[in-house]
Amino acid sequence: MTRQYAELHRPQFHFTAAKNWLNDPNGLVFCDGVWHLFFQHNAQATVWGEMTWGHAISRDLLHWQQLEHALYPDAMGTMFSGSAVVDHDNTAGFGPGTLLAFYTAAGSQVSPAKPFTQCLAYSTDGGYQWTKFHDNPVVDWIEDDNRDPKVIWHAASKQWVMALYLADDRYALLVSTNAQRWRQIQEVVLANDTECPDFFPLPDESGVERWILWSASGRYLVGSFDGRKFEPLTPLQVSESGFNGYAAQTWSNAPDGRCVQISWMAGGLYPEMPFNQQLSIPVELKLKGTGASAVLTRQPVAELNALRGKALVHTNRRISPGKPFTADTKARLFDVSFTVSTGSSKALYVMVRGQTLAFDWAEANLNLVNGRPHKLGLAEQSVRLPTKPGCAAQLSCRLIVDLTSIEVFINDGEVSASFCYLPDAHTDPLVLYGSGDAQTLEHLALFELRSIFEQ
């Protein structure tokens, strides 16, 4: 019998449930040195089904301990997605430092006569035991399957703010001073997206606080917020460009001003495994640029470096048809960064464990060959590269490779993309080869990674 967490397709440094189905990360909150991760979980089967909130904790964002489930279905419905915060000032009356969790009770999953509503639970022991509020729901049904409340504290206006998905591509902002009675202040459109809003502040490069309104497929607006209205400064932008990144959320109460995010890598395949689906590695978000030119960047959290082992470094390697670059490693897990000068070449192909990432310089696109877009179909079929089609350019790229996923970070996270894959036949885990004229691999650094399950 295969040891748990050592199964054939078990990710070795991404979070997976011990068994059965998971999807959206929920209730992300940092408290007393512990990162709490809750997640949509069907405790009964490896397919989507009756949703509970699973629960795991970590002190380093890498090594996770799965605990007893936190929230179970009740007469109001199954437990859909939501968020958690620390009530430092006792606004809700349960005591200073109480953790508050907001979730959707998906009533129509139990009875068509019961609509989706937003509910509250609280924990007075740092997030380990939860009690549902006696007077739920705290937000009555508004329309359709309104869901996925993301709550944050807005210090300037001394109130809680909830971002809530309504219907179509419309989202609402609501406010409350006690986390129990809410009123809607605004409706915002995030074109062509649905579900799982996030709402959080970040300083731009000039130090000015900006607010980001994020939707499930990684589309976002950067703007200002004064407690009464969110004013977008930018057009809708795309941060997560891969086939499989979905439903990302940021941790509340994160230390040292960090903005840390994790997402569901939707649509991965894990044939005949006791678990199904995985989360991404945690990433840290920052704003590049200022004002209307501000864009989000995403980078793997620094904690990932603790898994690094053997290192390989190469400089100034020419890649041309018939002359590929083959990394001297047999590792299945690795973290590789490279800088390439494209010259007048047509494409660069990066073969990872038999699957090919195609950097098409002529079209300025990136694709995972044979990649499988997730079932919701909202991710772009091609990732747009920050280069001009057919023009010579220099581009830096970092790939984080686990047994069933590749995460891509281009130009210091200006473009990022999540891909799920299953390995195909191969001799070497990493091979780079080109099409058209020669191009230069100016620098490549590969670190073999250890499993988080190694003793």
198 is catalytic: no
Find out whether 220 and 296 touch, Cβ atoms under 8 Å.
yes
**Lookup: tokens for 77:** 């419905």
Q: How far apart are CA 30 and CA 41, in angstroms?
A: 21
What does the alpha-carbon distance between residue 109 and residue 107 come to, in Å, rounded to a whole number?
5
Please state the φ and ψ torsions of residue 140, each to the nearest 5 degrees.
-70, 165
Rounded to whole angstroms, the Cα distance separating 22 from 249 reads 15
Q: How many CB atoms lie within 10 A of CB 429?
A: 22
Strands 20-31 and 275-276: parallel
Work out the burial of residue 89: count CB atoms within 10 Å of its CB; fewer than 13 is exposed, 13-18 middle, 19 or more buried: exposed
Question: Nearest Cα to 408, choosing from 253, 278, 291, 300?
Answer: 300
Alpha-carbon gap, residue 42 to 20, rounded angstroms: 6
Distance in angstroms (rounded) separating the CA atoms of residues 223 and 186: 14
Position 227, amino acid: G
Select which of 24, 193, 204, 335 is catalytic. 24
> Any bridge partners for residue 103, and if so which?
82, 119
Buried b or exposed e, range 200-210, using 16+ CB within 10 angstroms:
bbbebeeeeeb
Q: Going along 320-401, which residue ranges are E strands?
A: 325-326, 334-341, 345-352, 355-360, 365-368, 383-384, 394-401
Residue type, 21: W
The whole-angstrom separation of Cα 100 and Cα 98 is 6
d(CA 184, CA 118): 13
Q: DSSP letter at 197?
A: -
**Residue 27 contacts residue 53 (beta carbons within 8 Å):** yes
| 200 closest CA partner among 176, 223, 184 | 223
How far does CA 213 lie from the centroid of its chain? 15
Q: Are 87 and 179 in contact (CB under 8 A)?
A: yes
The DSSP bridge partners found for residue 67 are 55
Residues tagged active-site? 24
